[in-house]
Amino acid sequence: MKIEVKFFATLRLYLGVASINLEINKPITVDNLIDMLVEKFNDKKIRDYLVEGKKIKIGTMILINGKNIIHLNGLDTMVEEGIISIFPPAGGG
């Protein structure tokens, strides 16, 4: 199964890429996907950037094929294939 992970805003700047393609053998949770991103970029700050405890950080938005995971199962939402869009918390003043 192929998934494309798109990064937006400051997360895109931080990682230095707009998107990556991943191949998975079986459906995984969003939480597992974040672990895969941590491993792929060798950067544990990615999890800190997006997750607080066992919940998505306030202001973070993760869409699976256009559906916000907050309205699905949160970090336990299953990812099978398609486009995952990750928007980090907005900042500024």
Query: Could you read off the pLDDT of 45-84 as tens digits, one per residue?
Result: 999 989 998 899 999 999 999 999 999 999 999 999 999 9
Task: Label residue 84 exposed, middle or buried (CB < 10 Å: 0-12, 13-18, 19+).
Answer: buried
* pLDDT on residue 93: 57
**Average pLDDT estimate for 2-16:** 95
* DSSP-derived 3-state class of residue 90: coil
Is residue 89 very low, low, confident or very high in pLDDT (cuts 50, 70, 90)? confident
61 vs 23: CA distance, rounded Å: 22
Indicate the pTM of the whole model: 0.91
